[in-house]
Amino acid sequence: MNLPGSPFLARDGDRLCLDGIDLATLGQRFGTPLYVYSQAAMLDALARYRHALAGRKHLICYAMKANSNLAVLQTFAAAGCGFDIVSGGELARVLAAGGRADRIVFSGVGKTAAEMEQALLAGVRCFNVESVSELRRLSGVAASIGRVAPVSLRVNPDVDAGTHPYISTGLRDNKFGIAHEQALDAYRLAASLPGLRVIGIDCHIGSQITQTAPYLDALDKLLDLVETIGRDGITIEHVDVGGGLGITYTDEQPPRAEALVAQLLARMDARGHGHRELLLEPGRSLVGNAGVLLTEVLYLKPGATKNFCIVDAAMNDLMRPALYDAWMAIEPVQSRELQALRWDVVGPVCESGDWLGRERELAIAEGDILAVLSAGAYGMAMASNYNSRPRAAEVMITSGEAVLVREREQVTQLCAGERLLPMESAPESGD
Ligand code: LLP
């Protein structure tokens, strides 16, 4: 059988194993729903980028929105990575996991003044600024606390990354970045504001990108701008091409990270920009294929037109299928001598959109554990408590051991911050 994604995921006889560890055993030991990650798979994905960047000025800023578990951040911090963050909460997580502030780039269209101050005091490496108003606000905040904010402008290069509309970000109609034709004026303004120091240029064109051409087009547009603003006397030290490299969920064949990086560096060299530092913000491609979601089959409900396999994980645990119509492979962790039937794998949440996979050929019985593959990115990070469901536990496999890196949430934690109304404000009972 061909498993999409990670070489770390393999069948050992009738058992599905991640990094050599039997997933059925993990499901029984830690309960389900359960996210399981392989640290080795994450480091292997990082090494692919690193390999192609060897000997070049670069910084890999892991886009932690993909998976912000502290143990994941700790893994990348210890490997020397930087981080791409989009909120004060993400900043606090990086610091709690031992990440260095001077390797953080702060992206996002809606940074608040409080978040700017928090990041300035922490000493982040760069703010990726997305509008002229944000430039002014950042300069004001920095000046008010006697700091200078290092900035790069996120330019919207208006290239089509050829991906799902919800995760395409580099088109003119998207809310992200500063339009290419307005960038020169914005850079001039940035250079004139007292609280700012221009250091870079940035873009991010989308996610789950499976070709190199959109990256090269975007890079060309950034380099055109670097040259134009350079003639204005503004020097750009680093070029940040964002994240977005896709992974294999089913039969996609995205370029390998090495190939993408090699082409980017070659283009920079060819255009005389080889001396500038290259920044990358990969998220999914570092963690996506390093994780699975384990879920138990609660009930099998064969029907006249559809067979439903009701599992204990739901759209609140893994939102990608419901939100993007995303196809993610589903495999039993233990194969069985049963006749395979076609099942819709659905969760307990009260919505018809609550499904993890449709029309899947599976040989399964109630009580079996299934693994949703390629769930290491935008899985747990997007989980919610909808239907008052506590969030799943997370386990990391490291050096052959499975370590619990997030406890299963308890129902008491769900209402922890809530308050009943004082008795006098409560509506009269109708009795
Ligand atoms: N940099 C910026 C500024 C971003 O907005 C993103 C992702 C990344 C880097 C990392 O992109 P990646 O390498 O992971 O593709 N929830 C969606 C994906 C949303 C991506 C948002 N931005 C999904 O599950 O497909």
Per-residue pLDDT band for 176 (boundaries 50, 70, 90) equals confident
Specify if 293 maps to a domain. yes
Cβ(412)–Cβ(421) below 8 Å: no
Determine whether the shortest distance from the Cβ of 154 to ligand 1 is under 6 A.
no
- What is the distance between the alpha carbons of residues 249 and 199, in angstroms, rounded to a whole number? 37
Provide the 3-class DSSP secondary structure of residue 24: helix
> Mean pLDDT over residues 337-351, rounded?
96
Stretch among 92-106, 150-164, 326-340 having the lowest mean pLDDT = 150-164
Q: Is 332 found in the same domain as 361?
A: yes
**Domain-embedded: residue 217:** yes
pLDDT at 18 over 50: yes
Give mean pLDDT, residues 376-398. 98
pLDDT tens per residue across span 205-241: 999 999 999 999 999 999 999 999 999 999 999 999 9
pLDDT of residue 1: 47
Are 187 and 264 found together in one domain? yes
Number of other CB atoms surrounding residue 56 within 10 Å: 15
Atom 7 of ligand 1, nearest CA residue: 207
The reply to whether ligand 1 has any atom less than 6 angstroms from the CB of 67 is no
| CA of residue 368 to ligand 1 center, whole Å | 33
Q: Is the CB of 243 under 6 A from ligand 1?
A: yes
Tell me the best of 72, 211, 281, 323 to mutate to test the pocket of ligand 1, counting ligand atoms within 8 Å of each CB and taking the most.
281
164-187 b/e with 16+ CB inside 10 Å = b?
Answer: eeebbbbbeeeebbbebeebeebb
**What is the distance between the alpha carbons of residues 126 and 146, in angstroms, rounded to a whole number?**
17
What is the 418 CA–ligand 1 centroid distance (Å)? 32
Percent of the chain past pLDDT 90, that is, above it, reads 91
Tell me whether residue 294 is in a domain: yes
Nearest to 27 by CA among 14, 36, 39: 36
- Distance, in Å, from the CA atom of 26 to the CA atom of 224, rounded to the nearest integer, reads 52
Residue of 85, 154, 205, 207 to mutate, ligand 1, most atoms within 8 A of C-beta: 207
Catalytic residues: 350
Last residue of a domain, one of 256, 280, 304: 280
Check residues 160 and 66 and name the one with the higher pLDDT.
Answer: 66
pLDDT for the residue numbered 430: 61
Collapse the DSSP code of 304 into the 3-class scheme (helix H, G, I; strand E, B; otherwise coil) and give the result: coil
Half-sphere exposure of 175 (CA within 13 A, CB side): 5
Contact 354, 312 (CB under 8 A): no
Q: Ligand 1 within 6 A of 108 CB?
A: no
**Mean pLDDT value across residues 40-48:** 98
Residue 86: CB atoms within 10 A of its CB come to 19
pLDDT above 70 as % of the chain: 95
| Total domain count, the chain | 2
Together in a domain, 349 and 239 = no
Q: Which range of residues forms the domain containing residue 331?
A: 9-38+288-414
Task: Answer yes or no: do 218 and 297 share one domain.
Answer: no
Whether 199 and 240 map to the same domain: the answer is yes
Specify whether 208 is located in the same domain as 323: no
Note the helical H segments in 193-293: 213-231, 257-270, 284-287
- What mean pLDDT, rounded, does the chain reach? 95
Ligand 1 mean position to 215 CA, how many Å? 15
**Candidate from 77-91, 148-162, 186-200, 232-246 with smallest mean pLDDT:** 148-162
190 and 269 in a single domain? The answer is yes
One domain for residues 256 and 307: no
Q: With CA atoms as reference, report the closest residue to 374 among 285, 243, 255, 282.
A: 285
- In terms of phi and psi (left: phi > 0; alpha: psi -120 to 50; beta: otherwise), the region of 98 is left
Would residue 211 count as lying in a domain? yes
C-alpha 245 to ligand 1 mean position (Å): 9
Q: Looking at ligand 1, which atom is closest to the CA of residue 128?
A: 3
301, 201: one domain = no
| Beta bridge mates, 344 | 308
Quote the ligand 1 centre to 202 CA distance (angstroms).
Answer: 14
CA–CA gap between residue 37 and residue 402 (Å, rounded): 9
Mean pLDDT along residues 324-338: 96
Residue 343: its H or E element: strand 341-346
The DSSP call for residue 98 is T
Same domain for 274 and 144, yes or no, is yes
32 Rama sector, left if φ>0, alpha if ψ -120 to 50, beta otherwise:
beta
Helix (H, G, I), strand (E, B) or coil at 101: helix
How far apart, in Å, are the Cα atoms of 38 and each of 182, 237, 403? 44, 35, 10
* Pairing relationship of beta strands 58-63 and 277-280 according to DSSP bridges: parallel
CA 65 to chain centre: 4
Taking only the tens place, the pLDDT of each residue in 257-315 is 999 999 999 999 999 999 999 999 999 999 999 999 999 999 999 999 999 999 999 99
pLDDT value at residue 175:
79
Q: How far apart are the CA of 27 and the centre of ligand 1, in A?
A: 29
Domain-located, residue 51: no
Ligand 1 within 6 A of CB of 208: yes
Q: How many CB atoms lie within 10 A of CB 411?
A: 10
84 lines ligand 1 (CB under 6 A): yes
- The dihedral region occupied by 270, where left means phi > 0, alpha psi between -120 and 50, and beta the remainder, is alpha
Specify the residue with its C-alpha closest to ligand 1, atom 23: 378
**Bridge partners for 395 per DSSP:** 36, 404
Q: What is the CATH number of the domain that holds 155?
A: 3.20.20.10
Whether 172 shows a pLDDT value over 80: the answer reads no
3-state secondary structure of 174: coil
pTM of the model: 0.96
Q: Report if residue 308 sits inside a domain.
A: yes
Evaluate: CB of 109 within 6 angstroms of ligand 1: no
Give tens-digit pLDDT for 113-139: 999 999 999 999 999 999 999 999 999
Residues 265 and 354 in one domain: no
Is the same domain home to 376 and 261? no
CB 94 within 8 A of CB 77: yes
Token pair listed for 110: 């809606």
- Tens of pLDDT, residue by residue over 400-422, are 999 999 999 999 999 999 999 99
Rounded to the nearest angstrom, the distance between the alpha carbon of 101 and the centre of ligand 1 is 21
Q: Which residues lie across from 202 on neighbouring strands?
A: 154, 240
Residue whose CA is closest, atom 16 of ligand 1?
378
Question: Quick one: average pLDDT of 244-269?
Answer: 97
> In this structure, is residue 90 part of a structural domain?
no
Contact 180, 156 (CB under 8 A): yes
In testing the pocket of ligand 1, which one of 65, 176, 327 has its CB within 8 Å of the most ligand atoms? 65
The pairing of beta strand 15-18 with beta strand 9-12: antiparallel
Phi–psi pair at 357, nearest 5 degrees: -165, 145
Q: Given CA atoms 353, 355, 357, 358 in this order, what sign does their dihedral have?
A: negative
Q: Provide the pLDDT for residue 13.
A: 94
Are 318 and 34 within 8 A, CB to CB? no
Spatial neighbors of 174 by CB under 8 A, at least 6 apart, are 156, 168
In a domain, 221, yes or no: yes
